[in-house]
Amino acid sequence: MEVIHSIADLRSRIKDYRRKNDQSVGFVPTMGYLHEGHASLLRKARAQSGLVVLSIFVNPLQFGPGEDFERYPRNTERDLQLAEAAGVDLVFMPSVSEMYPSPTRTTVSVTGLTSRLCGASRPGHFDGVATVVSKLFHIVQPDQAFFGLKDAQQVAVIEQMVQDLNLGIEIVPCPILREADGLAMSSRNVYLSEEERKEALVLSQSLQKAKAFVESHTAFTPQELESLVSQHIATSSLAIIDYVEVLAYPTLEPFKNSHHTHSIIIALAVKFGKTRLIDNLILQVGK
Ligand code: PAF
């Protein structure tokens, strides 16, 4: 495994690989502080690709004022151990000045899909994500890129961007990995106090309740599911709901009732103290 800091070096390694091999290049973009969820993406990339490239870059563009860019958790040594164990070939770890040598005047903005959920709560966030991911895609030029479905809106946005800009990259969505008690794995879980960590279980529990409701009802409205989920989350005195929304997936359009869509997402963002957690469940419904 090789760790590379410059765009020029990474490009030349990948070009060299492509010259000598006809196997695919798989790419896993991350912001580091890797956990088992990232490891599952890397293992999938390892199984499907000849060359596995991991990027670790905490992207300032996707953090709003007052968000956690400065304190975002970092642990390079542990990240590199996990990457090595997962069979990564190249780790790209650019500095902020390598990625953004001068103030960037070009923004990639995916409209529509970004007006709800995290797009509404975090203005500019998805412009930052789409811009950095498109830069990384241009640098790495992968055949496949692997993304976790915990950020299901991000997956929808990236898929739309790839389609609209004819990037010719296969986006591989990968299932959410959960701790044994159900909490979705996230680099931000480390911020939680012991009490918040316990209370945060209401998130996965509320999604399981919604799943059971969907499975036992032939028809339902999004509002019914939203109130069921919100009510369960409200049983935690520490939880402050940012949003609970049920939409069609991957269009992220509202729908009237379960007869009007095939696939739905129950998406939520909830704050425990200063920590904002997201989670979701994607379900097939109807006939
Ligand atoms: O999902 C993330 O970790 C980030 O949003 C990504 C895709 C690496 C872009 O910075």
Q: Which residues contact residue 39 at a Cβ distance below 8 angstroms, ignoring those fewer than 6 apart?
A: 82, 85, 86
Q: So where are the chain's domains?
A: 2-174, 187-282
Strand partners, 272: 239, 275
What is residue 190's predicted lDDT score, i.e. its pLDDT? 97
Atom number, ligand 1, closest to the C-alpha of residue 59: 10
Q: How far apart are CA 170 and CA 7, in angstroms?
A: 22
Query: What span, in angstroms and rounded, lies between the C-alpha atoms of 275 and 269?
Result: 10
CB 264 within 8 A of CB 282: yes
Whole-number pLDDT of residue 260: 86
Does the 2-174 domain belong in CATH 3.40.50.620? yes
Q: Give the orientation angle of helix 36-48 with respect to helix 76-86, to 10 degrees.
A: 40
Question: What's the one-letter identity of residue 263?
Answer: S
Residues framing ligand 1 (Cβ under 6 A): 29-31, 59, 62, 129, 132-133, 151, 154
Query: What pLDDT, on a 0 to 100 scale, did the predictor assign at position 286?
Result: 75
Distance CA 163, CA 28 (A): 19
Q: Which long-range contacts (CB under 8 A, 24 or more apart) does 213-218 make?
A: 214/258, 214/264, 214/283, 214/285, 217/258, 218/258
Residue with tokens 């959410």: 176
Encoded amino acid at 182, one letter:
G
Ligand 1 centroid distance, CA of 217 (Å): 36
pLDDT by residue for the chain (287 residues), tens only, comes to 999 999 999 999 999 999 999 999 999 999 999 999 999 999 999 999 999 999 999 999 999 999 999 999 999 999 999 999 999 999 999 999 999 999 989 999 999 999 999 999 999 999 999 999 999 999 999 999 999 999 999 999 999 999 999 999 999 999 999 999 999 999 999 999 999 999 999 999 999 999 999 999 989 999 999 999 999 999 999 999 999 999 999 999 999 888 888 999 999 999 999 999 999 999 999 75
Residue 129 CA, ligand 1 centroid: distance in Å: 6
Best of 41, 134, 139, 154 for a ligand 1 pocket test (most atoms within 8 Å of beta carbon): 154
Tokens of 284: 């097939």
**CB-based contact 50:86 (threshold 8 Å):** no
pTM (2 d.p.) = 0.97
- Closest by CA to 121, choosing from 228, 245, 205, 266, is 245
Q: Which of the residues 5, 38, 125, 232 is marked catalytic?
A: 38
Atom 3 in ligand 1: residue holding the nearest Cα = 30
| Close Cβ partners of 5 (under 8 Å, ≥ 6 residues apart) | 92, 93, 94, 95, 98
For residue 248, the surrounding DSSP H or E stretch is strand 239-248
CATH for 187-282?
A: 3.30.1300.10
| Strand pairing report for 170-174 and 275-284 | unpaired
3-state helix, strand and coil shares in percent for the chain, rounded to the nearest 5 = 45, 20, 35
> What pLDDT sits at residue 259?
85
Concerning whether 232 is annotated as a catalytic residue, the answer is no
CB 103 within 8 A of CB 232: no
Residue with CA at minimum distance from ligand 1 atom 2: 30
Read off the tokens for 31: 């912001």
Binding site membership for beta-alanine: which residues? 62
Among the atoms of ligand 1, which is closest to the Cα of residue 133? 9
Q: Distance, CA 189 to ligand 1 centroid (Å)?
A: 16
Rg (the chain; Cα; Å):
19
197 alpha carbon – ligand 1 mean position (Å): 23
As a residue count, the chain comes to: 287
Place of tokens 């979705």: 184
The pair phi, psi for residue 91, each rounded to 5°, is -110, 120
